[in-house]
Amino acid sequence: MIFKKNIQQLRLTDRELADGISNAGQSVDVVISESRSGAPTLQVNNTYIHSSYDPVKEAKEWLKNNEQYIHGADNIVVFGFGLGFHLNELCTSTQKQITVFEPNLHVLKAAFQSQDLEAVLSRIKIITDVSAPYFEDDTAVLTLQSSLKLTPEYFDQVLLKLKARDILASGLRIMVVGPVYGGSLEVAKYCSSSLINMGHTVELVDNSRFDDTLFYIREITSNKNHYDALVEKFTALLSEFILARCEEFQPDIVINLAQAPVTTDCIERIKHYGVKTAYWFVEDFRFMEYWKQVAGSVDHFFTIQKDDFFEEMKQSGLDNYHYLPMAAYPQVHRPVDLSEEEKKYYGSEISFVGAGYYNRKHFFNGFIDHDLKIWGTDWDMHSKLAGFIQRSGSRVDTDEIVRIYNASRININLHSSTYHKGVNPFGDFVNPRTFEIMSCGGFQLVDRRSGLDGLFEEGEEVVIFNDQNDLRQKIQHYREHPEEAKRISEKGRNRVLRDHTYEKRMQEMLEVIVADDYEPACWADNRELVQDLITEADAETEVGRYLSQFNEHEHIALSDIIEKISNEDGDLSRTESIFMMMNEFKG
């Protein structure tokens, strides 16, 4: 009866965890016994989590020992749940927000079975993984030492993440370096915009302005040696541009996207200033082998593949790699209202958006008996698919792609392969299209990829096909059951918005970077502490009041103030005019 009551209370705020605890089963390592005071106590792996004499008295002493920390904090984090004696005392003594980290579901189940926790569960949030919520104000971290000793690695990870959140909350200066052209060009823009939305100061180095030069190099010569030499010099030139912008912008972190024109020498020179460097390799490592030159030069190397890729990097002596799958940008990839004309133009029973790779050209031949539209470049206009290829295979921009995803009853998502005639049985990464279709609220059928495991729940949030025959059957099924397709697409969109946006990816990337002995870059010394400047100017003066608007930042430079002034409309105030004049003299 107690257990059911506790689970019902938890289900009001965290259905997923309530289900997890209910399904956890019993563990021989988790034992409830009676203490000498008559209250239950708990042993885990033969270690007492609470006093075997009087756990209630022990909890009161725990609260007393932590009162000074509780009093000075706005939020409270507790490491260890146990049977909840200490949490009951804590909830009784304060109305502050309380978050409890406890990785062991068997411990939670034991607590739910032995204690009436209804009042506690209405006040706290329980986290069982290493994710950490955002705390805008001062946070006290309290520990149940007996729990801490059982899983120290887990709590160390959580503590690192909490510390990383503190650093990130003040805002960092981040430079994002994009490629000259290619798929990661848009990804760089999404990353930059997401970082700005998260409160960071961002400089996007948009190298797409140089794409004509790179394409011209291709026209100059057919000699591979000459071409390679020209591209090498071109890359070196762009690297110098990047370094120049870096020295001007003075970032804390530089994030390079796949195909960014940076040399290893450029990366080393950036690192010389103490700037943390990262590279997001959003490509297939089996075909793009330049990772071998890049991965070892940056501080952190992020990939959309793991397993085989991780093993190869490990054998190469690398240990700076991290898994970071693709995502969607909901501000762009979203449901849109379409006119009847747009529905007719962009819509079809089934559609595909993407380039005409070898496997796709063969695969879609099996669907010419359907209402099929194919959008994208590099398709053979002399094949039997020609009648289904829209606009003769011309390029489709992002705005149109979003409309296609919204207008199509079923979006087919077949990952590319240059040497299969259908589904690549060894596919181990998930393309951006998977997340983008869902974010648009579209229904998709995607080919089986090992990388989908853990990202989406098959059959509930995404439907996967194994081969051509399987796809035909599933098209027929969802054509006959549109309400089921709608339910799945809604769940898929909710999952993307919750877990798979570029803001989520950037947050994860930054937490990894700053948790690794992060220190501000050397040129941070050229910036001043905001609070010192306000104190020096006197907080009640015109200048002091003006500077107070930068309170959310720890450091500030004249360039930050000038940037803010330049981005605002209207006449300059007296203080703003002074700062603009100071900048002129500096120049």
- Concatenating the DSSP letter of every residue in 288-347 gives -TTHHHHTTTSSEEEES--THHHHHHHHTT---EEE----B-TTTS------HHHHHHH-
Q: What is the mean pLDDT of residues 478-503?
A: 97
Phi-psi region of 538 (alpha: psi -120 to 50; beta: other; left: phi over 0): left
Q: What are phi and psi of 6, to 5 degrees?
A: -65, -45
Which of 479, 395, 355, 499 minimizes the C-alpha distance to 439?
Answer: 499
User: Nearest CA to 173 among 270, 276, 271?
Assistant: 276
Q: Do 430 and 325 meet the contact criterion of CB atoms below 8 Å apart?
A: yes
pLDDT per residue as tens digits for the range 13-57: 999 999 999 999 889 899 999 999 999 999 999 999 999 999 999
Token reading at 118: 């209804």
Query: In this prediction, what percent of the chain has a pLDDT beyond 90?
Result: 79
For 280, phi then psi, to 5°, come to: -105, 105
Under DSSP, the state recorded for 453 is T
Torsion-angle region of 411 (φ positive above 0: left; ψ -120 to 50: alpha; else: beta): beta
3 state DSSP class of 533: helix
Model confidence at 406: pLDDT above 90? yes
Q: What is the pLDDT of residue 169?
A: 84
Instruction: Give the pLDDT confidence of 228-280 residue by residue, as tens digits.
Output: 999 999 999 999 999 999 999 999 999 999 999 999 999 999 998 999 999 99
Classify residue 415 by burial, with Cβ atoms within 10 Å: 0-12, 13-18, 19+: buried
- CA distances from residue 351 to 21, 442, 445, 474, 489 in whole angstroms, order as listed: 42, 11, 10, 14, 16
- pLDDT tens figures, 75-85: 899 999 999 99
Query: Residue 139 has what pLDDT?
Result: 86
Neighbouring C-beta atoms of residue 405, cutoff 10 Å: 26
pLDDT value at residue 543: 85
Summarised one tens digit per residue, pLDDT across range 159-215 is 888 888 888 888 999 999 999 998 899 999 999 999 999 999 999 999 999 999 998
339 CB contacts (<8 Å, ≥6 apart)?
A: none
**Long-range residue pairs from 62-70, CB within 8 A, at least 24 positions apart, any chain:** 62/86, 62/89, 62/144, 63/89, 63/90, 63/93, 66/140, 66/142, 67/93, 69/140, 69/142, 70/94, 70/96, 70/140, 70/142
List pLDDT tens digits, range 333-359: 999 999 999 999 999 999 999 999 999
Local confidence band at 564 (pLDDT 50, 70, 90 cut-offs): confident
Which tens digit of pLDDT belongs to each residue from 272-311?
899 999 999 999 999 999 999 999 999 999 999 999 999 9
List the beta bridge partners of residue 124. 98
Residue 138: pLDDT band (50, 70, 90) is: confident
- Give the model confidence (pLDDT) of 433-449 as tens digits: 999 999 999 999 999 99
**Could you tell me which residues come within 8 angstroms of residue 412 by beta carbon, excluding any fewer than 6 positions away?**
350, 351, 352, 444, 445, 471
What are 544's strand-pairing partners?
Answer: none
| Phi and psi angles of residue 233, each rounded to the nearest 5 degrees, phi first | -70, -35
- Cβ 496 vs Cβ 438: under 8 Å: yes
Mean pLDDT, the chain, whole residue set = 93
- Residue 586: pLDDT band (50, 70, 90) is low
Distance CA 428, CA 449 (A): 5
Domains of the chain: 2-168 (3.40.50), 170-323 (3.40.50.2000), 340-500 (3.40.50.2000), 527-586 (no CATH)
What is residue 527's predicted lDDT score, i.e. its pLDDT?
Answer: 66
Query: To the nearest whole percent, how much of the chain has pLDDT over 70?
Result: 98
Q: Give the long-range contacts of residues 6-13, CB within 8 A, separation 24 or more.
A: 6/112, 6/115, 6/116, 6/117, 6/118, 6/121, 7/112, 9/117, 9/118, 9/121, 9/122, 10/112, 10/121, 10/126, 13/121, 13/125
Output the pLDDT for position 526: 59
Tens digits of residue pLDDT in 91-128: 999 999 999 999 999 999 999 999 999 999 999 999 99
pLDDT > 90? residue 218: no
Of 25 and 312, the structure prediction assigns the larger pLDDT to 312
Residue type, 509: M
Q: What is the pLDDT of residue 563?
A: 79
Sheet with 40-44, side-by-side order of all strands? 30-34, 40-44, 47-48
